[in-house]
Amino acid sequence: MAAQTTAEHRSHALRSHALLKVAVALQTLALFFQAATAGLLLSSAHGETLHSAGARVMYGASMLYVLAAVLAWRPGGGSPRPVLHASGFLVLASVQVVLGIAHIPSLHVPLGALMFGLSTLALGQALTARRPVRSGAVS
């Protein structure tokens, strides 16, 4: 019984870690898309529509990142550090949305660049982090 519980726990930890990687990757891709559509704002009539749609996807990806970090931490037994990073990123995304709606590009653009850099660092960290031990592996 204990071996089955341990195997289930490890399996859940592996899934949680994979979800965390996917969430950070999606967030990073959404931010890259936002940078591309920001350039389209200057040269195309459809730029604003694409940038607005991308903002919704990016914000949703930030919320998914928080959820994935919580699932990797609490039931998965991982570190609480990704939860703090994801929560801080969600705060930055909220500020970014407010600045975009208020049309304050002098703060909106640099914050977007900062967010892309931070998300890229988080993705690199998630991809190089030690994976949870698989069931049956010898410690």
Please report whether residue 53 resides in a domain: yes
Residue 105 domain flag:
yes
Q: Would you state the torsion angle of the CA atoms of residues 69, 59, 100, 28, taken in this order, to the nearest 10 degrees?
A: 70
Q: How far apart are CA 135 and CA 128, in angstroms?
A: 20
* Residue 4 domain-assigned (yes or no): no
Residue 98 lies in a domain: yes
pLDDT digits (tens, 9 = 90+) for 40-74: 988 888 889 999 999 999 999 999 999 999 988 88
- Is 137 domain-assigned? no
Q: Which domain holds residue 103?
A: 10-128
Candidates 18, 6, 128, 134; CA nearest to 72 is 18
Give the whole-angstrom CA distance, residue 131 versus residue 11. Answer: 11
Residue among 66, 71, 61 at smallest CA distance from 85? 66
Task: Specify the number of domains making up the chain.
Answer: 1
The tokens for 10 are 């490890």
- Whether 58 is in a domain gets the answer yes
Average pLDDT over residues 73-84: 80
Question: Is 2 part of any domain?
Answer: no
Q: Is the pLDDT of residue 29 over 60?
A: yes
pTM of the model: 0.82
**Residue 44, in any domain of the structure:** yes
